[in-house]
Structure formats: C-alpha cells, structure tokens
Amino acid sequence: MKRSWLAALFLSLPALAQQQDFSKVEIKATHVAGSVWMLQGSGGNIGVSAGEDGIVMVDDQFAPLAPKIKAALAKISQKPVRFLVNTHWHLDHVGGNAAMAETAAILAHENVRKRMQAGGELPAFKLKIDPAEPRALPILTYQRDVTIWLNGEPVRALHTPPGHTDGDTVVFFTKSNVVHMGDDFFATGFPFVDLDSGGSVRGLIGALDEVLPQIPPDAKVIPGHGGLQTVADLKKYRNRLDEIVALVDRALKSGKTVEQLQKEKILAPYEDWNAGFVKADQFIATVARDLQQKK
Ligand SMILES: [Zn+2]
C-alpha cells in the first residue's frame, strides 16, 4: 500500500526534477474564448491573452520547454510577451521565467519572489530547489492584487489565501470571461497541496470560497493541471474537498490513525481522483497533517 503511492510519487519526480525527456513534449494551443488561449505541454497550464498591444501570459512550465512555448506563442501572435504572471513558485509553472524575461515584466505575489530567491525543499517529492537566477525572479510583486491594462482587456491577478502554497494567484481575463486558477484547481484528481510551502487544504477551500463568487457563472475555467473546466466543475471540486476534510477530521477525532484510514480506504468514494499523480493515501496524510496544524 505504502509502496504504491511512493512509486507513484517517484513517477512524477522526473517531471518536477526536470529530468524528464522534454524533447518529446509538444505544446498544444487551445483557443479558450475572446483573446485567451491555453497552452499545454508538460507542467502547469499556460494562459495567454493576445492582442494589439502584445501578450499577457500566465505561467511558463519548465525551462527546457521555453523555445517550444515561444514557437507556439508566435503562431498565436507576432507581438512580444509584455507581462508574465506566475501563479506560484513551483518549477512546472515558473521554469521558463528567465527565457521569457527577455521581453516580459514578471509579476507575482511577494511570497513567490521570496521562495524563488531563497530556494527550498519539496519534501513530498524529496526535491531540493536551488535559488533562482536573478533574471528569473518576478520584478513586480504585490500583496493583494494588480491589474494589467492591455489589449482593452483588464487582466486582474488576485492573490488568494494560502491554499496550494502561500503565494497563490488566480488571474481573471475580464473581457474574454476566462479565469486561470493556477494550482488552486487540479482537474486531474486529488490535488497536491504544498504544506511545506505554506499551503493548507482547509485554506484552499477558503480560497475557493473567496474566488468562486467573483467568477461569472458562464466563465471558462483554466485549471492549473488538466483540461478546460466550467464554474460548475470548480464548485464540485470545492465541495469534494470539503467532504474529504470533514471525513478525515471525523475519523481522526474518533481516535483512528492515518494508517488506519488508509487501510480502511475511507476515500474509496473518491477513487476516480486516483487518476492524478497524488493518490488517496497521500492525500489522507496531507489532510491529516493540515488538520493537526494550528490555523
Ligand atoms: Zn504547483
């Protein structure tokens, strides 16, 4: 049991450790709505708003993919990337920063810059992250939100309460009616919640409760990972997380251990979420650890 989720973690390690063979990765561009596109390759989904004034981009995947991502952007617009928003500091979202900084001003919540500058560890992946080179760092930071006025479409980057990490941002493409959720939304299965980077499962639910009322019901939703989603999907995701936290909380309060909950497969009703790289047993442990943290 334990072995299987460890094995699963190791399978996802190469991608995060950049040891994956990126030569085989293809960047797929999908038109979402209005001036907004989604690029998918390996790592977090990229959001793109393209127009007369240039490109506003959200996240940039892994460093070795930068040439391919630039080639994909060139097919959408000949204009330069002028602004790049990082939704959080993980390598599969900020890896291309140095390459994009040739034309783009990089923006992020101030904790993203702090964590990138200091480097750190992702114990869940047995991974050590080196401090980022200076030109890869965000040069504009914010505590709450910032709006980029380009292409006649206000693009609003909003910091959300600690959820996936403590530096999360969601981005509203207000005119095209699209929102990029960063890793506050995993549409692939159980989410990875990075408690070691200040994240919290309960905090994530709170963040979603703050964001959801701000999203028009007919908006298109770009998740951090997985295909395009609807607002209804995002609500379902939020409610499932809430149910799971309540389930684990009740079981722990009844005196059971994490190992017992894993053995009893208490997340069996949510087994379709095992399709992602985080498995039920790992998520039980994450929720339990979060519940034991003082809030
Ligand atoms: Zn992430």
116: nearest Cα among 146, 142, 86 = 86
Is the pLDDT at 227 greater than 90? The verdict is: yes
% of the chain surpassing 70 pLDDT: 93
* 103, 199 contact by CB (below 8 A): no
Helix (H) or strand (E) holding 149, with range, is strand 145-150
- Compute, in angstroms, the gap from residue 189 CA to the centroid of ligand 1: 14
Measured CA to CA, the distance from residue 200 to residue 291 in angstroms comes to 9
How far away, in angstroms, is 45 Cα from ligand 1 center? 11
Distance 191 CA to ligand 1 centre (A): 9
Is 70 exceeded by the pLDDT of residue 4?
no
Confidence check: pLDDT of 89 > 60: yes
What does the pLDDT look like over 245-293, one tens digit per residue? 999 999 999 999 999 999 999 999 999 999 998 999 999 999 999 999 8
CA 194 / ligand 1 centre spacing (Å): 8
* Cα 183 to ligand 1 centre (Å): 5
> What is the distance between the alpha carbons of residues 202 and 98, in angstroms, rounded to a whole number?
33
Distances (CA, A) of 200 to 39, 166, 170, 182: 28, 9, 16, 15
How far the first Cα of the chain sits from its last, in Å, is 30
Read off the pLDDT of residues 29-60 as tens digits, 9 standing for 90 and up: 999 999 999 999 999 999 999 999 999 999 99
- Can you say how many angstroms the Cα of residue 215 is from the centroid of all Cα atoms in its chain? 18
> What are the residues whose beta carbon lies below 5 Å from ligand 1 (ion)?
90, 183
- Residue 225 CA to ligand 1 centre (angstroms): 9
Based on the number of CB atoms within 10 Å of its own CB, is 71 exposed (0-12), middle (13-18) or buried (19 or more)? exposed
- Give the Cα-Cα-Cα angle 126, 65, 22 (nearest 5 degrees): 65
Ligand 1 geometric centre to CA of 224 (Å)? 8
Q: Is the pLDDT of residue 16 over 80?
A: no
Q: Ligand 1 centre and the CA of 193: distance in Å?
A: 8
Calpha distance 57→138 (Å, rounded): 13
Report, as an integer, the average pLDDT of 175-198.
97
Cα-to-centroid distance, 16 and ligand 1 (Å): 10
* Ligand 1 geometric centre to CA of 153 (Å): 27
Cβ-contact 160, 204 below 8 angstroms: no
Question: What is the pTM (predicted TM-score) of this model?
Answer: 0.93
pLDDT, residue 125, reads: 82
Euclidean distance between CA atoms 217 and 72, whole angstroms: 30
Ligand 1 center to 88 CA (angstroms): 7
Which tens digits make up the pLDDT trace of 163-179?
Answer: 999 999 999 999 999 99
User: What are the structure tokens assigned to 170, written together?
Assistant: 């969601």
Q: How high is the pLDDT of residue 21?
A: 87
Cα-to-centroid distance, 28 and ligand 1 (Å): 20
Per-residue model confidence (pLDDT) at position 295 = 61
Query: How far apart are the CA of 72 and the centre of ligand 1, in A?
Result: 22
Q: Give CA–CA dist 162/164, Å, rounded.
A: 7
Q: What is the pLDDT of residue 172?
A: 98
Which tokens is 60 given?
Answer: 């940039």
Q: 232 C-alpha to center of ligand 1: Å?
A: 22
**pLDDT tens-digit profile of 99-143?**
999 999 999 999 999 999 999 988 888 889 999 999 999 999 999
